[in-house]
Amino acid sequence: MSRAAIVCGLGAWVPPTVVTNHELAERLETSDEWIRTRTGIEQRHVIKPGEATSDLAVEAGRRALESARASGEDGVDVDLVVLATSTPDHPCPATAPDVAQRLGLVGVPAFDVAAVCTGFVYALAVAASMLTAGTARQALVIGADAFSTILDPHDRTTRAIFGDGAGAMVLRAGEADEPGALLGFDLGSDGTGAGMITVRAGGSRQRSTGTPASEGDQWFSMEGRAVFTEAVLNMSNSAQSLADQVGWSAAGADRVVAHQANVRILRAVGEQLGLSAEQIVINLDRVGNTVAGSIPLALADAVASGGIRPGHRVLLTGFGGGLTWGSAALMWPELTVTPPNAPTL
């Protein structure tokens, strides 16, 4: 039997501060109805002043490690940390080493992966490859973003969509016939669409000019209509391609956990893949778009609530800036998972 990476722990976290649509409507020219009808989002969680992405990642990682121990994993001994984020604590250094040491994982390799909303799937693929190659034995893979820190406070569209949060998985090396085995990946990118999802200022391109950033370029921007089309096309194609690769039909998956960008995108992906409403996991109404945290947050929510059960065939699929997209497939194992909004201990 071939080697594989096995999911043996799952955790997620959203900060306790909630911003409802009604609260946004008090500050911006918008309304609860406008936001809900266009996005399906009712509220989002945001970090407090002085907090950062690493704080979200540490709590999600801690919960994933607890999940692995509670689920009967003998000898949790993580020797690799991969953090997917587009909002690192600092431009330099990477945030993962700090997260690792705060979790007591000093000395292990730790690095960031930047693929925006596809980041978690990319990070899973990297970690799984290192486990199957024998470079590591156990890995902690985290997706975390504090997108509230890069949003224009006066832009009603982006402020309505995005929230802060994190999710994490513990993986171990094992065999492909074990429950929880990651059965395959489908990854892709198209740099011709880089300008669709971007923060134009702050990088080497703008800094090398020696001139200040243009007004508004320090904030996140997105071409909504073009992104909608690309997201539906690429998540649908990627999920279908991977399902074919592992010998499933996409419509035969018990649950599809797609990046939680917009409820209309999720429904359109469902239509393309022939899925029923029950097969599509949705939690963005309560947390918004949490970028790299989106897929593991939705997964943890569904597992904790009983929406995903042991033996379910699960497809993960994401789309993000770059442009990037990717999917992963697995048979869900028996895991103990704490709800993402449960208080910290």
Q: Mean pLDDT of all residues in the chain?
A: 94
Sorted by sequence, the CB contacts under 8 Å of residue 2 that are 6+ apart come out as 132, 175, 176
Whether the predicted pLDDT of 204 surpasses 80: yes
Which of the residues 21, 234, 289, 341 is marked catalytic?
A: 289
Express each pLDDT in 50-78 by its tens digit: 999 999 999 999 999 999 998 776 677 99
Global pTM value: 0.96
Express each pLDDT in 120-173 by its tens digit: 999 999 999 999 999 999 999 999 999 999 999 999 899 999 999 999 999 999
Whether the predicted pLDDT of 100 surpasses 80: yes
Does the annotation mark 21 as catalytic?
A: no
Helix/strand/coil (H, E, C) string of 97-162? HHHHHHCCCCCCCEEEECCHHHHHHHHHHHHHHHHHHCCCCEEEEEEEEEHHHHCCCCCHHHHHHE
Residue 342: the pLDDT is 63
Residue 61: the pLDDT is 98
Does the annotation mark 8 as catalytic?
A: no
Residue 317: the pLDDT is 98
End-to-end CA distance of the chain: 40
Containing 173, the helix (H) or strand (E) segment is strand 164-175
Does the annotation mark 90 as catalytic?
A: no
Which of the residues 8, 117, 262, 283 is marked catalytic?
A: 117
